[in-house]
């Protein structure tokens, strides 16, 4: 008996489970993505603290200032030679706050300083912020065993 | 002439562009994912440049002054609080226990204030360790048991 060859045939693959799974993966990564991490900088190694827990309420008008190991300051991704050099930037921030009917005293300076930076440099940074009119400060630390 | 109905016929949809885009989105999210540990904040009350007018609050306790001296490498050398020295590997636990014995874990702790007087060259991680020791401790249930909430720095010492 002669068997008839079917030849090449297009096979329909059911793509639905794969697409379902892919969308679930996308949803998972979208939820997981943390845009706050944009503040973080690889040059800064934060000191660790067991009590460092993420705040329950968001900080009011936060201004993040980072301090590298050798005392250079970073504000909004821009690097400055020292803390004194960020004074004009802080003044700008103050004017922006005042234009929004807020005062500099209501804003919070978030200090992300390298664990090995000299404490005196952190104190100088705080002093410069005080001279501009900022009063609230928070020292940021990484969660972990110190 | 009878017309044949096409309603039952399957219309094939080309899924290729959608799958391409979906995989691109997936790649974007995977690549931009940055795994980072949680960060927390310690609030610091700083002395104002000008002294406050008026008489000081009689209910306000004088600040406990924690003196932290650095050695030549910037590591913590000597640490004293009210004539009491804290040394050794468990110096932070000693400090915490001493603060807890002085102010307790009640309402007095809320009004107590610690002033950090640090050498200019002292490594900053020691400050965070001190702030951690005086701020409280982690309870067995994972809740933070607060101790002193008011912490401030002394004016910076010149190098």
Q: Does B142 touch chain A (CB under 8 A)?
A: no
Residue B49 pLDDT class (50, 70, 90 cuts): low
Indicate if the pLDDT at residue A117 is higher than 70.
yes
Kindly report whether the global pTM for this prediction surpasses the value 0.80.
no
Nearest to A97 by CA among A123, A132, A46: A132
Residue A116 pLDDT class (50, 70, 90 cuts): very high
Q: Inspect the interface and report whether the beta carbons of B128 and A122 lie closer than 8 Å.
A: no
Using a CB-CB cut-off of 8 Å, the residues of chain B touching A48 are 125, 128
Residue pair B117/B151 in contact (Cβ under 8 Å)? The answer is no
Who among B37, B46, B124 is closest to A142 (CB)?
A: B37
Q: What is the mean pLDDT of residues A22-36?
A: 84
Contacts of A68-72 with C-beta under 8 Å, sequence gap 24+, read A68/A43, A68/A44, A68/A114, A68/A117, A69/A43, A69/A45, A69/A114, A69/A116, A69/A117, A70/A117, A71/A117, A71/A118, A71/A121
Residues 95-134 of A with CB under 8 A from B: 110, 113-120, 122-124, 126-127, 130-131
The enclosing H or E element of A17 equals: helix A16-32
10 Å CB burial of residue B84 (0-12, 13-18, 19+) is exposed
Q: Which ipTM value was assigned to this complex?
A: 0.77
Q: What is the pLDDT of residue A2?
A: 63
Q: Does A26 touch chain B (CB under 8 A)?
A: yes
Indicate if the pLDDT at residue A16 is higher than 90.
no
Note the pLDDT tens digit of each residue in B132-141. Answer: 988 888 777 7
Q: What is the pLDDT of residue B27?
A: 92
Nearest CA in chain A to B25: A26
Residue B24 pLDDT class (50, 70, 90 cuts): very high
Residue pair B115/B153 in contact (Cβ under 8 Å)? The answer is yes
Note the pLDDT tens digit of each residue in B109-142. Answer: 667 888 889 999 999 999 999 999 888 887 777 7
Count CB-CB contacts under 10 A for residue A109. 27
Residues 59-88 of A with CB under 8 A from B: 59
Note the pLDDT tens digit of each residue in B90-106. Answer: 888 888 888 888 877 55
Residue A78, SS3 per DSSP: strand
Indicate if the pLDDT at residue A24 is higher than 90.
yes
Residue B79, SS3 per DSSP: strand
Q: How far is A57 from A63, CA to CA, in rounded Å?
A: 16
Q: How far is B89 from B95, CA to CA, in rounded Å?
A: 12
Residues 17-36 of B with CB under 8 A from A: 18-19, 22-23, 25-26, 29-30, 32-34, 36
Indicate if the pLDDT at residue B54 is higher than 60.
no
Q: What is the pLDDT of residue A68?
A: 92
Indicate if the pLDDT at residue B147 is higher than 90.
no
Strands B84-85 and B144-146: unpaired
CB pairs under 8 A between A and B: 165
Residue pair A58/B59 in contact (Cβ under 8 Å)? The answer is no
């Amino acid at each position: 008996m002669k068997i008839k060859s079917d030849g090449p045939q297009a096979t329909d693959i059911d793509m639905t489970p794969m697409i379902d799974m892919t969308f679930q993966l996308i949803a998972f990564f979208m939820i997981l993505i943390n845009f706050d991490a944009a503040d973080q900088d690889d040059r800064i190694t934060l000191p660790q603290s067991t009590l460092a827990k993420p705040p329950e309420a968001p900080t009011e008008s936060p201004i993040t200032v980072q301090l590298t190991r050798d005392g250079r300051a970073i504000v909004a991704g821009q690097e400055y030679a020292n803390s004194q050099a960020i004074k004009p930037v802080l003044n700008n921030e103050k004017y922006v706050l005042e234009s929004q009917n807020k005062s500099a005293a209501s804003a919070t300076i978030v200090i992300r300083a390298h664990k090995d930076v000299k404490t005196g440099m952190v104190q100088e940074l705080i002093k410069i912020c005080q001279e501009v009119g900022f009063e609230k400060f928070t020292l940021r630390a990484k969660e972990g065993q110190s | 002439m009878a017309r044949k109905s096409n309603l039952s016929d399957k219309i094939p949809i080309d899924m290729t562009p959608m799958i391409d885009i979906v995989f691109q989105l997936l790649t974007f999210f995977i690549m931009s994912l940055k795994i980072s540990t949680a960060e927390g904040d310690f609030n610091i009350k700083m002395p104002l440049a000008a002294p406050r007018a008026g008489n000081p609050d009689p209910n306000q306790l004088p600040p406990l002054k924690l003196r932290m001296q650095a050695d030549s490498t910037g590591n913590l050398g000597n640490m004293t609080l009210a004539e009491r020295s804290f040394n050794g590997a468990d110096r932070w636990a000693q400090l915490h226990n001493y603060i807890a014995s002085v102010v307790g874990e009640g309402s007095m702790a809320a009004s107590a204030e610690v002033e950090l007087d640090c050498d200019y060259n002292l490594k900053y991680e020691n400050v965070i360790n001190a702030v951690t020791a005086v701020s409280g401790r982690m309870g067995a249930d994972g809740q933070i048991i607060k101790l002193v909430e008011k912490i401030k720095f002394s004016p910076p010492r010149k190098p």
